[in-house]
Amino acid sequence: MPRGLPINKSPEEKVFGIVGEIVSTDEGEVYIKETNDTRNIGWDQALAYLRSPTPTATPTVTPTSSRPFVVGQTNTPTPTPTSTPTLTQPPFINPTLTPTQTPTKTSTPTATSTQTPAPTNTRTPGASIPPPPTPTPTPTIYYTIGATITWSVDQPVSQTTGGGYLVGDTLKANYSITNQANLSSFEVRVRSGIPDPYGGGWVTISGPAYTYIAPTAGYYQLGILVNYMDGRSISIESSVITVVSFDRPIVTMDPSTVTRGQGTISTVSISEGFAGLAAITSWGTTGAYTIESNTQNSWNTSIEDNVAGYGAFYLNPFKRLTNGRTIYGTSVVITVRRQTYLITYTLDPAGYIKYSYENADGVSTTLERYGAPIQTIYPAWAEPCASSVTLLEPGGPGRTVGLTPYQC
């Protein structure tokens, strides 16, 4: 039942009333008694602002476009999208109606008098029913894929130095893979051929070291095939390398023993082997006794002009390939000996002499000779040949010893 004077702010806990009674406040709000009949609690705010009351002679229910409120419903929130019944908007109840009047429902055949309570008391004045949310598809996140692969020499074949690749080298495949956490599988492989590797089929290189020894001279290329868990794959190929034969050079020298001072000419011969896919560069000497091979297999040289002193020296053959690799062969011994002469001597007054001499190899020997006093002896060719001779003590006056001008 409407009251004559507006209630200050809210009737809750201030105004007693029966269920269905309507009151207005001084703030223009409308409250309906929905529960706790005859008590001063149970007032609920209606979903409409109270307009200024207009006296009328007839208590006619007048529909209005003001925000609706529902009479008699308990805890009615915003209708959920799953509601099946179709209800018409309830009419606005003029606050001038007497308390005995009850708003009538429309005659829509599909409406029922039973309302399903909503699960919450929350009310939003003027809110419209939102449409059901449209599911947003989860975007596919693409990650970067990629890989790199290169050759390196893990272990060079013995007795070689420098760069390049030779048959016998242990080659290593070095690779990196982008986003390995998303990796499904990968394969490291190699192919080869002449004049290029593209005609050859891929051969898998086993892990985990991924090393490879080229069986023959030729052109070689690495590859890596990477598969990712999202179904994508990528194939990467390395640059082509040239693998050449490493046949070692063999050297001979004739004669290999020479006497200093005689100007002996020796013939040096080198078999450089099969160079494979790289030519041998020009020949020459490195240091005093290391000779580089070339396509000229032999040449003449004076060993004593290339070494200083006497004794055994080593000639070390090598070949240098155009890929920068130097390949060493087996060394040979060459000997430079001293020049030797016959010995002449004169006995002392007692007919005695003692001296020592060194042979062509520098080995020292001591000799004693007896004969007529002050006699000079010119040894026969069967006598020792000496590179040097020294007179020893004791001995009397007149003794002498020396080398003849005659070489042995």
Ranges 23-32, 50-59, 197-206, 331-340: which has the least confidence:
50-59
**CATH number belonging to domain 147-244:** 2.60.40
Q: What is the pLDDT of residues 108-129, one digit of tens each?
A: 444 444 455 545 544 445 556 7
According to CATH, where is 2.60.40 located in the chain? 147-244, 250-337
Q: What is the residue-averaged pLDDT of the chain?
A: 77
Q: Give 96-139 as a DSSP string.
A: TS-TT--PPPP--TT--S--PPPS-----TTPPPPPPPPPPPPP
Domain 250-337 has CATH 2.60.40: yes
Q: How far apart are CA 245 and CA 126, in angstroms?
A: 92
pLDDT of residue 325: 85
Q: How far is CA 10 from CA 6, 19, 62, 74, 346, in A?
A: 9, 16, 26, 19, 158
Ranges 91-95, 171-175, 251-255: which has the least confidence:
91-95
pLDDT of residue 317: 82
- Any idea what DSSP says for residue 73? -
Q: What is the pLDDT of residues 143-170, one digit of tens each?
A: 999 999 999 999 999 999 999 999 999 9
pLDDT of residue 272: 72
Q: What is the pLDDT of residues 312-362, one digit of tens each?
A: 888 888 888 878 888 888 888 889 999 999 999 999 998 999 999 999 988
11 and 23 Cβ atoms separated by less than 8 Å: yes
Q: Is the pLDDT of residue 85 over 80?
A: no
